[in-house]
């Protein structure tokens, strides 16, 4: 794949004018559906009018990520302060900042559970432990893609005595057991790989 650079030239079709020369430059693009602005997107601009005529393939992932971000949903949960401590300890174990790594840990467990009924039962069971049922003094907001959000809501609705907050609190306790108590070496290795990517 050829990577275009700012200042490169090419050609594109302009409405009612046919083939015209374009110059590639970085611009801020506003997404039509959400009005979100995406900075630093390489686009082909009409050399005469400055009108954006084309978006090269290399800019497509950036625009897709911005569209996906606008579609993301938020799961909110109240939890004991001790679970916040657990998230910090897990992040420290992998030498990562909790604000960046903790959401990835919770999403990891929820994604695994979405294809593993046994893990759903485990998260449900762990959400009933003393650690997860303390005084709910902390709030956590977790951004997830729409599919995972819908799965959490559907699973909570279909599982007796479980709500979305229980699944998230259970995921945090599972991370404590798997990482801090060394109960699941495979999951610990997978979380290590996630930590390296965050």
CA 7 to chain centre: 33
Task: Identify the CATH assignment for 9-71 out of 3.30.160, 3.90.550, 3.10.20, 3.40.50.
Answer: 3.10.20
pLDDT value of residue 66? 84
pLDDT value of residue 35? 79
User: Of the candidates 174, 194, 193, which has an alpha carbon nearest to the alpha carbon of residue 184?
Assistant: 174
* Sequence ranges of the domains in the chain: 9-71, 73-197
pLDDT over 90, % of the chain: 82
pLDDT band at residue 59 under the 50/70/90 scheme: very high
Per-residue pLDDT reduced to its tens digit, 133-165: 989 999 999 999 889 999 999 999 998 889 999
- For residue 178, pLDDT beyond 80: yes
Cα(128)–Cα(125) distance, integer angstroms: 6
């Amino acid at each position: 794949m050829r990577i275009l650079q700012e200042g490169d030239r090419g050609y594109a079709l302009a409405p009612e004018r046919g083939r015209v020369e374009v110059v590639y430059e970085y611009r801020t693009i506003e997404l039509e559906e959400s009005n979100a602005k995406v900075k630093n997107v390489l686009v082909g601009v009409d050399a005469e009018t400055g009108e954006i005529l084309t978006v090269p393939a290399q800019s497509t992932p950036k625009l897709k990520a911005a569209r996906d971000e606008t579609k993301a949903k938020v799961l909110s949960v109240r939890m004991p302060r001790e679970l916040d401590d657990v998230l910090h300890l897990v992040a420290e174990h992998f030498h990562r900042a909790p604000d960046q790594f903790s959401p990835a840990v919770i999403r990891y467990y929820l994604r695994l559970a979405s294809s593993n009924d046994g893990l759903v039962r485990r998260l449900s069971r762990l959400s009933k432990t003393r650690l997860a049922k303390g005084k709910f003094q902390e709030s956590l907001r977790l951004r997830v893609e729409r599919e995972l959000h819908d799965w959490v809501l559907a699973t909570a609705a279909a599982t007796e005595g479980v709500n979305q907050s229980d699944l998230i609190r259970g995921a945090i306790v599972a991370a404590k057991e798997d990482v801090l108590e060394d109960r699941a070496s495979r999951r610990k290795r997978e979380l290590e790989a996630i930590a390296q990517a965050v």
